[in-house]
Amino acid sequence: MNDPNGMVFHAGEYHLFYQYNPYGNTWGPMHWGHAISPDMVHWENFPIALFPDRHGAMFSGSAVVDQNNTSGLGTEGNPAMVALFTYHDAIAESAGRKDFQAQGMAYSLDKGRTWVKFAGNPVLPNPGIQDFRDPKVSWFEPQKKWIMTLAVSDHVSFYSSKDLKTWTHESDFGEQWGGHGGVWECPDLIEMPVEGEGTKKTVLVVSLNPGGPNGGSGTQYFVGHFDGHAFTLDREFQKRLAITPSAQRMGSAFDPFSDVQWKASGNAFAAEAALRPPLSIRSSKDIPDATGVLRSRPFKIEKRNINFQIGGGRYPGIAGMQLLVDDVVVRTETGRNNDLAEHPVTVNWDVSAWIGKSATLEIVDGVGGDWGYTEVSDIRFSDKPASIKPVIAAWLDYGTDNYAGVSWAGVPRSDGRTLMVGWMNNWEYAQKLPTEGWRGAMTLPRELKLSRGKQGLELISVPVKELQVLRAERVELASGPIGEPIELLDQLNARSSGQFELNIDVDLRGTKALDLVLSSKAGEKTTFRIDRSSGQYKLDRSLSGVTKFSHPFNAIQTAPMADAGKKISLQIFVDRSSIEIFVDGGRTVFTSLLFPTAVYDSAVLSADGETTLLSAQAYELRSIWE
Ligand code: FRU
């Protein structure tokens, strides 16, 4: 499975549809799988809800209950459940067409058990745009209309409709804002109260792949206002974001270099994505001795400097850009374990020695038997060295494995919560996870809240309270100074099940670093560190178990410490193949996959510097299938 789809609450049931390939455990022809739950914790699997048809496969989308029967598809007494999804026409795609994604509709009159495709599909045809998908539909009460938020390459587009069947374009948002290291996907537009302030704001959630905070897929958000036509950023929130440098935007004009064409050669894949900025090239360990080159046509050096930004290249091997003058390599620059979108490294080459000579640029990825990639953008010729600000985005989750999450529609007003699950995975290695018979899972369900913290408005995530029903045995640990390392699982049965929850409150005033180390009998370990000297949280899964299936999987995940405060709280869920860490009441979250070969049966807390444990509880968690 991949993305959660069509999440809707109706008649006492939470529906979770999802991207599903019934024919294998890698991505393939997409169907909508289906599961139903009374509490978001215990799930029952249902038959496949939506199958591909002559318009294409079933890509991601959403569902709503048409309470006022605006579509005429239901009745007042039995409103239709309506799903809006993306048709992906793989035949049109392989024929080289651009318009292979369009939005379709289906409806159910029996609480989501059986579905009928709308006869007038597609309801929103493709206007000639390659990435045009993942409709999330919500009701906009002030103007009594439906709003569809759609991911369109490097921005979102808003469409409106009175009846769910005909859609009118309203506006676009995002080309200039937030992370643009990859394509925008799976957006969500959510109106939310600001905690404790009696005001409401609109939050726009957007998935991004690649370009996430710790590589690969990630989920960013924007806080602002939606007036039924357009989304505008909240002024204060806007200050936290940098404007995206223009040439870093996908699909934008590559002006300073417009007359130099690039040609791909070698056996790297994804050179196909390379001929528009940011120029990028990837290779795969599936291709022996993969080497890919993007070569510019020759040009004459006329200015003193070549400035550019580089990212990627974080795996062993050569990955970078080089300058050749008269066919001799005179300059090279490799990526430095960074993502172009988030941490671009700005490079300046003084080329004054070769003014008047003929040169070529090569973007190379030859990683000698492992994964790798190089991305380059903003190549400019100038007489001055360059300096470019990095893009700053707000991230829902700093862990590598929370993608494509959207909120449940139809949650009763009396409940009022914003509830979400994400796909616990990352496209960087999703197809290679060391699992058999299944692949892909969802995150724990979370409640999202908009809260004003030291950084201004922040979207925080906490595990839903319903999860407490899973708590079995509880152990309360003694508070006091942390001298010797403390085993938190000592008296728990969870040691054999590998399923537990930890709640820890610590006074950090004298702390340099606090470590929580999970380990297994097989000697595997995962470390979460609060590193006050660097002001970062760090999650290290490089020794966590099976990791070699992917190089990026081994990288240390980091997040800035939101507040180098005195007290810190951690709520941590550990399952057989995952850890979900909620720091400071969900201000910072790490969701991460782990594949230990034996269950984690130890959780040890240790501190460098004077540190006090204020309170700690450990719970064994029951299986949701019991
Ligand atoms: C996100 C995504 C969506 C698309 C779906 C296809 O993970 O790429 O944009 O609809 O997966 O399975």
* pLDDT tens per residue across span 124-133: 999 999 999 9
Nearest to 379 by CA among 347, 421, 418: 347
Domain 468-621 has CATH 3.40.30.10: no
Predicted local confidence at residue 308, as pLDDT: 83
Measured in whole angstroms, the distance separating CA 83 from the mean position of its chain's CA atoms is: 23
Contacts of 626 (CB under 8 A, 6+ apart): none
Closest atom, ligand 1, to C-alpha of 59: 10
Residues with CB under 6 A from ligand 1: 2-3, 19, 30, 59-60, 86, 133-134, 185-186, 404
**Residue for token digits 């019991």?**
626
Q: Are 342 and 213 in contact (CB under 8 A)?
A: yes
Distance (Å, whole) CA 238 – CA 395 = 14
Residue range 4-244+394-461 forms a domain whose CATH class is mainly beta
**Residue for token digits 């991911």?**
151
User: In testing the pocket of ligand 1, which one of 186, 219, 406 has its CB within 8 Å of the most ligand atoms?
Assistant: 186
Beta partners for residue 64, in sequence order: 82
> What distance in angstroms lies between residue 67's CA and the mean position of ligand 1's atoms?
28
Strands 358-366 and 318-325: antiparallel
List the CATH code of the domain at 255-382: 2.60.120
Distance (Å, whole) CA 461 – CA 464 = 9
Topology match between the domains 4-244+394-461 and 255-382: no
> What distance in angstroms lies between residue 194's CA and the mean position of ligand 1's atoms?
30
Average pLDDT over residues 104-133: 97
User: In testing the pocket of ligand 1, which one of 19, 58, 62, 439 has its CB within 8 Å of the most ligand atoms?
Assistant: 19
- Whether residue 617 is predicted with pLDDT greater than 90 in this model: the reply is yes
Torsion-angle region of 58 (φ positive above 0: left; ψ -120 to 50: alpha; else: beta): beta
Predicted local confidence at residue 47, as pLDDT: 98
> What distance in angstroms lies between residue 55's CA and the mean position of ligand 1's atoms?
17
Question: Which of 3, 188, 234, 575 does the annotation list as catalytic?
Answer: 3
- Domain positions in the chain are 4-244+394-461, 255-382, 468-621
Closest atom, ligand 1, to C-alpha of 151: 9
- For ligand 1, atom 8: residue with the closest CA: 185
**Residue for token digits 């994604």?**
101
DSSP state of 213: T
pLDDT, mean over the chain: 87
Predicted local confidence at residue 229, as pLDDT: 98
Least confident of 100-104, 240-244, 406-410, 607-611: 240-244
Nearest to 505 by CA among 400, 617, 592, 370: 617
User: In testing the pocket of ligand 1, which one of 50, 60, 89, 156 has its CB within 8 Å of the most ligand atoms?
Assistant: 60
- For ligand 1, atom 9: residue with the closest CA: 185
Q: Are 432 and 550 in contact (CB under 8 A)?
A: yes
- Whether residue 487 is predicted with pLDDT greater than 80 in this model: the reply is yes
Catalytic annotation present for 3? yes
